[in-house]
Amino acid sequence: MTWPEQRRVLRMIPGLEQAEFVRLGVMHRNTFINAPVLLLPTQQLKTDLRIIFAGQITGVEGYVESAASGFLAGLNLAALAHDAEPSLPPCETALGALIHHITTADPKHFQPMNVNFGLFPDFPSRDKKKDRKLLLAERALAALEGWKIELITEAQRAQKTA
């Protein structure tokens, strides 16, 4: 609602007819692209691979998520600048699960998303609910370690060929 409309509606409440409003409400609105339609999992624009999106505009929600998205974009830009393939964090990690979500969600109903345990791949076995988050975290750390080794190996390979 516009500020004049907010004042009008609030003044309809008995006792607030002459109230002075110091601060009226403001709607928070994010601007974001339809990532499942437009982006590859590397956050590259499908129609022009030279363009990489990052942050809130991709549909990630939150400061940490936006920074992580930017980190991944920077990592992939560096890889492309050195004629290497862009890299993706495993889906078992928070960033990997979020990137997977924003690039594979239903485009008709796409909305920005924070990292949450619901985005992570399920376990093949049924574990006790109280153990689930710890198991997800342990699996994520192991997957992250594997990705780190992969990135280091690729960087060393690129250094040797440079």
Instruction: Give the pLDDT band of residue 65 (cuts 50, 70, 90).
Output: very high
Tell me which residue of 53, 47, 42, 32 sits closest to 85, measured CA to CA. 42
* pLDDT for position 89: 97
Q: Tell me whether residue 45 is exposed, middle or buried, using C-beta atoms within 10 angstroms of its C-beta: 0 to 12, 13 to 18, 19 or more.
A: middle
Q: Select the more confidently predicted residue: 42 or 123.
A: 42
Average pLDDT rounded to a whole number, residues 36-48: 97
Q: Where are the alpha helices (DSSP H) in the chain?
A: 3-10, 35-38, 63-81, 94-104, 129-161
Distance from C-alpha of 127 to C-alpha of 157, rounded to nearest angstrom: 40
Render pLDDT for 81-131 as a digit per residue (tens, 0 to 9).
988 899 999 999 999 999 999 999 999 999 999 999 999 998 777 767 778
Instruction: Give the pLDDT band of residue 29 (cuts 50, 70, 90).
Output: confident
Q: Select the more confidently predicted residue: 51 or 128.
A: 51
Q: Given the structure tokens 């590397």, which residue do they identify? A: 42
**Whether the predicted pLDDT of 27 surpasses 90:** no
Distance from C-alpha of 62 to C-alpha of 108, rounded to nearest angstrom: 22
Distance from C-alpha of 118 to C-alpha of 116, rounded to nearest angstrom: 5
Helix axes 63-81, 94-104, angle to 10 degrees: 80
* pLDDT for position 66: 97
* pLDDT for position 6: 92
Q: How many CA atoms lie within 13 A of 48 on its CB side?
A: 4
Q: How many CA atoms lie within 13 A of 16 on its CB side?
A: 9
* pLDDT for position 122: 85
* pLDDT for position 129: 74
The fraction of the chain above a pLDDT of 90, given in percent, is 73
31-161 falls under which CATH superfamily? FAD/NAD(P)-binding domain (3.50.50.60)
Tell me the domain boundaries of the chain: 1-28, 31-161
